[in-house]
Every structure is written in C-alpha cells, then in structure tokens.
Amino acid sequence: MLYAHWEDVPPQHWPWGNFTPEELASQGDQSIMIDAEAIDRLQWTRGTVGRMIVNSAYRDPIHNARVGGAPLSGHKFGHAFDISLRGHDRHGLLNTCRSAGFTGFGFYQTFLHVDCGGRRQWYGDNIARTTWTS
C-alpha cells in the first residue's frame, strides 16, 4: 500500500512496534510503500538482534534515481532495506536476515542490503568478498 506521506498511515495499518512510518519512508518525498511481509521480516530481525539502524527503506522513484539505485530496485517496491553494520557482527546480522526470510543480499563496507526479491547476492563499494566470507 502506497501513502503519499508517512503521516497519512493510519495507526491500525502499522503493527510494527519497533519502527515508525517515518523511519521507513522515502528520504525524498516522505512517501511510504508498505509491504507487510517485508516489514514483518525486518521486525523479526530487529527483535532478534536488538537495536539496529535502517539507513534506507522505501525510495520514491525520483529519490531512487538520485542516489543511483537500480531502476527495478526493491527499495521502490517497499521490500528492500539497507541496515547499518554499526554495532553488529556482520556475519551474525547476515545469518539473522537469512533466518528472517530475506533472499537478496548486497554486501557493503558500512551496511547490509536485504530484500525479498530473487535469491542473489552482490558485493558493492569495491568490497572484497573476504570481508564477508572470512
């Protein structure tokens, strides 16, 4: 479900106690796409690992283009999240996200991209695979 602004989300449509609509809204126009299954997985992840920072969640198309996102990025559909690695063991966070049911993983120096798209993984920021596989 798409809302033009995060403030438009009725409380009864937001059962995720560890997040706010503002936290998962586009940093561009403040709109939000709610993919309940994806947010359920994110909620489960947060409940398991404790505190975590979501750097990026839903992105409106203009904001996605501005930040260099893929044209068919899961962020544009509300089922992709970039989770800060600050305060987390990268392997532990990855394993928890896999257990939560995420299927797409992008490995970066400072964050882990997770999504509910096809099963795949990639390495960004010229990051060495050994950073994630050791």
Cβ pair 80, 74 in contact under 8 A = yes
Class of domain 2-133 as given by CATH: alpha beta
For residues 102-126, average pLDDT: 91
Position 132 pLDDT exceeds 60: no
Give me the residue spans of the domains in the chain: 2-133
pLDDT band at 134 (very low <50, low <70, confident <90, very high): very low
Phi and psi at 32, nearest 5°, equal -145, 135
Round to whole Å and give the CA distance between 91 and 28: 31
Q: What is the pLDDT of residue 125?
A: 72
Q: Higher-confidence residue: 6 or 121?
A: 6
DSSP-assigned letters across all residues of the chain: -EESSGGGS-GGG---TT--HHHHS-TTT--EE--HHHHHHHHHHHHHH-S--EEE----HHHHHHTT--TT-GGGGT-EEEEE-TTS-HHHHHHHHHHHT--EEEE-SSEEEEESSSSEEEE-TT--HHHHH-
Q: What is the pLDDT of residue 122?
A: 86
Q: What is the pLDDT of residue 124?
A: 84
